[in-house]
Structure 1
Amino acid sequence: MTEKQFISTVKYVASTKPAFLLSEIAVYLDDQKTVDQMYASLLPHLADLGLAAKKIGEDYEVSRLLPSPAYCLNAAEEQRVSEYLELRTIPPALEEAIGQYITRKTGKDWSDPVILERLRRAIVAQKDDYWKPTNKRSLQYTKGYSVLGYLAYHFPVYFMQTRQLFAELARDGLLKREMTILDLGTGPGVIPLAVADFWTCLGTARATVFPVERSKEHIEAFTHLVKSVATKDSLVTIKPALEADITSPGDVMLPEHVDLMIFSNVLNELAGLPVAARADIVMKYADRLAPDGTILVVEPAEEATSTSLRVLSLVLKKRGLSIYAPCTFVWGTNCTSDRCWSFQTAPSIRPTRIMNTLAACDEPFRYVNTDIKYSYVMLRKDGKTRSPCHLPKGTNAMRLSRIHLNVGRRITVVAAKMSEDLGDNETHMFRLCDGSAEKPVYGVLPVFHITQSNRDLVSAPYGAVLELRNVLVRYNPVHDAYNVLVSRNTQINTTGNRAV
């Protein structure tokens, strides 16, 4: 019997009874397999089949897995989330735990001048490495002062931006009442700690987080931070970090049915791997994703890294995953992503005490990291999208792939707003994409042309789909891009996007 036939047999038996033992399948098989062999064959398909398996003595019990219902925010929770996002500092207990860990690791108080100077050198070295060409970066952050520098400089911003992403997931109804979260490449625990922090906004939702990390130094920092801030009555259970390389996890016991899978600031560090190999890594873990689960990939907003994420997301789309957000493919086509530099921003955080102390030197700007800018993609198996766009038949909207034929003309376009404001005090400018453009397209709105009928270009959230009526097409030869000029006579409407 082939593997396909074996899986079909399991699927049939599962449809006839809510639970069964794998040994019961043996009577249907032409060739004899042990229950361990059958389990190994079934394991990659459990999530897709909506099944769970657990060992019972020498056998395995397979049962239907009832999906946990979506967690919808009530009015009180929405208010708590809004107030939570206004906070611009990491929790005091977490900031204190970072300082304590640096002190413990170095044997001197973190504010000792010698320790501060070593931290400064580590931060500068990391930043210099970050700005190298992609194929020449090392970006390890895995040993000694590189880990301590990461905690002092990068950790607070990554923690705070994760708050923003969880708020989007919550408001989109992508969280569940009971969740299993897999954090691949957890580092010192940014994601698990952010989960525990954000879930305080939720009344009854529960989550179990499984972190995976290859660096012993990061796992040590992770363990210290989690123990320092964990509370007994938390709605979130953070499992001990599993020591494994996400490119080759070996036989570590990962959860079989994952509701949220996160790759945060990790895939870009695999600079030696081509995009197809990075897609292979994501797809390998996607086998464990629940049918209604979400994969979140987050990367820094730096141009090469951000653009590379868009390329990766299209490769994953071709591999069978659907892009939930932020991209919308208005015409059902794929865009040309090699020039797609698209990222989101959020209000800057306040510098931590450690940052301020590090900045008490001749070059303070080097050691204060407060800007939140990030690129992300949310992927699904079920085809669900944040902003479904169904153009009426016979619409007169122009595909952006044909914009070069309409220079000097006024047209109507339907496209997603794929950047924050790239303009200045006199002119607003936003990246636009409908999934068909071959060259970058920007919506340009001079301040003196803002009216009630066109201000949605400015006020609509990142990723919102807009209809822009009566815009003038111009070509920008300096940047080899196109501008659609918005005037007082332009009508702009959103197309049913959720509020953020």
Structure 2
Amino acid sequence: MGTRRVSKPLQQALEDLLVERYGANWHRGDSGADLRTAIREFKADYLDREPVEYDDTTAVGYAIYHLPAYYAAVGYVLSTLTERGLLPRSIRVLDVGAGAGGPALGLHDFLFGGDGAGDGGNDDDGGNNDDGDASGIDERAASVDYHAVEPSAAADVLDRLIDETARNFRPTIHRTTIEEFEYDSVGQGDPDDSNAADAGDSDTGDAGGFDLILFGNVLNELDEPERVLDTAFEYLAPDGSVVALEPADRNTATGLREIERAVADDGDEATVYAPTLRLWPDATPSDRGWSFDVQSDLDTPAFQQRLADGHDDTEADVEPDAYRNVDVQFAYSVLRGDGERRYPFQASRDRHAKMAEMDNHVTERIDLLGVKLSHDLSDDGNSLYRIGDGSQSTDHYAVLIKESGLNRDLAAAPYGAVLAFENVLALWNDDEAAYNLVVDAETVVDSLSGS
């Protein structure tokens, strides 16, 4: 799934909410100034690593600023599951820290189509949308029993926006924290049952459970995220997935890796499905783990543009761009309990050098397997990509100094691809305290997982 825009129905739904609350000129006057102030304040709190307090205005400002990027990001992550047929169309979902609805609405449009934003690969009618409407929603595409856990005022925004979803997307909002959420109270459920969202008689911890548990930009806000994840796995279906997303900045992205490692490497239930595959059996990484995906910028949603247009230079010493957020950059982790991995490849001592032992190979040309864990990180000069094999304790970067037909896959392969390197030169970079894997005209790089 790829999207360059927020679906028109979602844009209209948020515009309608703004008009209902503040009037047709919501972006001007006191209401517009209050919303812009709220955005500036929660951005400042985030940078200072302070908790955000949600009142009604902050919740709406959060939706205006953050919802589009969250909406887009979740689809890219879910596509890693649909490519393997691991996201059922009849599905039970728990959305932890659902906020104003970015992940929920991204999930909805991914499954149901919403203005052309779906994954597009699962229609069984040759692309005909007889049950669809002008919004592009295909009512037959899926059946979703959706449960949101959200204690803040953002739940009111979610409640309003989720009214616009397909009739087979059946939502229930639980206005509580995940620590206080009672899993058993929602029952095992049946996505094909129109009363599933209100079911409460079954034991979720038995053979059923949630097919998908989403943690959208919330784990970094929890006091005990590992404990919360461990509990979630108790209520995950045997073939279900836990999907966690976080912003791409260093603190939250590396924090996600720490949580992932605590649950997957130190526990016995979870396997990393994507993107940070463990290519060596029984090996675990301990490097910084600052890894995130970057996708195409969104087209600026109309509501962000209107809020920016209403900016008055007397409000604050910032540019109108401060209210536009179209970057789609995110860290993510997909965990499963059945041992499935996005790509099945494993390294072999007979053929591959191990990153945990890279110090033994400095100045040598070697072969190895690695996962591409970044976009091009260079500001200028030679292209630079983070690489990991799941054993590394120190950062490793593939440095492309001479592109050729033999190594073109290094640049062309997508984030998360497994790459086979042949005849790559291993060097130590003392300035960065990292290993450089120098890719030149003598180096072969093949993407084992496709480009």
More deviation, 175-184/429-438:
175-184
* 8 Å CA contact 1:311, 1:338 repeated in 2: no
**Percent identity between the aligned chains?**
29
More deviation, 190-199/240-249:
190-199
Q: What does 1:308-319 correspond to in 2, within 5 Å?
A: 308-317=255-264, 318-319=266-267
Say which SS state the counterpart of residue 472 (structure 1) adopts.
Answer: strand
* 8 Å CA contact 1:343, 1:418 repeated in 2: yes
Deviations along 1:449-472, whole A, 9 cap, x unmatched?
A: 111110111111211111111112
In structure 2, what residue type is equivalent to 1:326? P
In structure 2, what residue type is equivalent to 1:148? V
1:168 maps to 2:104: no
What is the alpha-carbon distance in structure 1 between the residues aligned to residue 427 and residue 213 of structure 2? 42
- The residue number in structure 1 matching 2:362 is 407
In structure 1, what residue type is equivalent to 2:262? V
Q: What is the aligned counterpart of 2:245 among 286, 298, 301?
A: 298
More deviation, 398-407/436-445:
398-407
What is the alpha-carbon distance in structure 1 between the residues aligned to residue 185 and residue 82 of structure 2? 30
* 8 Å CA contact 1:176, 1:205 repeated in 2: no
- The residue number in structure 2 matching 1:155 is 67
- The residue number in structure 1 matching 2:157 is 221
1:346 maps to 2:295: yes
Deviations along 1:2-35, whole A, 9 cap, x unmatched?
A: xxxxxxxxxxxxxxxxxxxxxxxxxxxxxxxxxx
Name the one with the larger helix percent.
1
In structure 1, what residue type is equivalent to 2:157? A
- The residue number in structure 1 matching 2:329 is 373
* 8 Å CA contact 1:108, 1:115 repeated in 2: no
What is the alpha-carbon distance in structure 2 between the residues aligned to residue 279 and residue 483 of structure 1? 33
Q: What is the aligned counterpart of 1:437 among 382, 387, 392?
A: 392
Shift in alpha-carbon separation, 1:247–1:335, aligned structure 2, 3 A? same
What is the alpha-carbon distance in structure 1 between the residues aligned to residue 226 and residue 329 of structure 2? 23
Shift of 1:358: 2.6
What is the alpha-carbon distance in structure 2 between the residues aligned to residue 107 and residue 358 of structure 1? 13
Deviations along 1:198-230, whole A, 9 cap, x unmatched?
A: 222443552323233343522221121122x23
Deviations along 1:395-438, whole A, 9 cap, x unmatched?
A: 2x211122223222222221111111112453211101111111
1:249 maps to 2:181: yes
- The residue number in structure 2 matching 1:483 is 436
Say which SS state the counterpart of residue 186 (structure 2) adopts.
Answer: coil
Shift in alpha-carbon separation, 1:206–1:188, aligned structure 2, 3 A? same
Shift of 1:167: 2.3
What is the alpha-carbon distance in structure 2 between the residues aligned to residue 266 and residue 187 of structure 1? 9
Deviations along 1:233-273, whole A, 9 cap, x unmatched?
A: xxx32322122210121474254221111111111122xx2
In structure 1, what residue type is equivalent to 2:79? A
* 8 Å CA contact 1:192, 1:211 repeated in 2: no
- The residue number in structure 2 matching 1:230 is 165
Considering Cα pairs closer than 8 Å and 6+ residues apart, tell me whether 1 or 2 has the greater RCO.
2
- The residue number in structure 2 matching 1:189 is 101
Shift in alpha-carbon separation, 1:498–1:324, aligned structure 2, 3 A? farther
Shift of 1:112: 2.4
- The residue number in structure 2 matching 1:266 is 218
What is the alpha-carbon distance in structure 1 between the residues aligned to residue 145 and residue 408 of structure 2? 41
Count of residue pairs the alignment pairs up: 398
In structure 2, what residue type is equivalent to 1:94? L
What is the alpha-carbon distance in structure 2 between the residues aligned to residue 297 and residue 193 of structure 1? 16
- The residue number in structure 2 matching 1:307 is 254
Shift of 1:286: 1.2
* 8 Å CA contact 1:314, 1:334 repeated in 2: no
- The residue number in structure 2 matching 1:92 is 8
In structure 2, what residue type is equivalent to 1:388? P
Shift in alpha-carbon separation, 1:392–1:475, aligned structure 2, 3 A? closer
What is the alpha-carbon distance in structure 1 between the residues aligned to residue 178 and residue 407 of structure 2? 46
Say which SS state the counterpart of residue 331 (structure 2) adopts.
Answer: strand
Q: What is the aligned counterpart of 1:206 among 142, 145, 152?
A: 142
What is the alpha-carbon distance in structure 2 between the residues aligned to residue 120 and residue 210 of structure 1? 31
More deviation, 213-222/429-438:
213-222
* 8 Å CA contact 2:71, 2:104 repeated in 1: no
Shift of 1:352: 1.4
Deviations along 1:297-354, whole A, 9 cap, x unmatched?
A: 1111110100011111111112221111111212224444451100001100011122
Shift in alpha-carbon separation, 1:368–1:337, aligned structure 2, 3 A? farther
Deviating 4+ runs (over 4 angstroms) = none
What is the alpha-carbon distance in structure 2 between the residues aligned to residue 376 and residue 268 of structure 1? 12
* 8 Å CA contact 2:279, 2:369 repeated in 1: yes
* 8 Å CA contact 1:212, 1:246 repeated in 2: no
More deviation, 417-426/119-128:
417-426
Say which SS state the counterpart of residue 16 (structure 2) adopts.
Answer: helix
Q: Normalising by structure 1, what TM-score?
A: 0.75
What is the alpha-carbon distance in structure 1 between the residues aligned to residue 16 and residue 349 of structure 2? 63
What is the alpha-carbon distance in structure 2 between the residues aligned to residue 107 and residue 215 of structure 1? 27
Say which SS state the counterpart of residue 39 (structure 2) adopts.
Answer: helix
* 8 Å CA contact 2:272, 2:278 repeated in 1: no
Shift in alpha-carbon separation, 1:254–1:367, aligned structure 2, 3 A? farther
Shift in alpha-carbon separation, 1:238–1:498, aligned structure 2, 3 A? farther
- The residue number in structure 2 matching 1:15 is none
Say which SS state the counterpart of residue 172 (structure 2) adopts.
Answer: coil
Shift in alpha-carbon separation, 1:383–1:182, aligned structure 2, 3 A? same
* 8 Å CA contact 1:470, 1:490 repeated in 2: yes
In structure 1, what residue type is equivalent to 2:9? A
Shift of 1:378: 0.7
Output the aligned Cα RMSD: 2.0
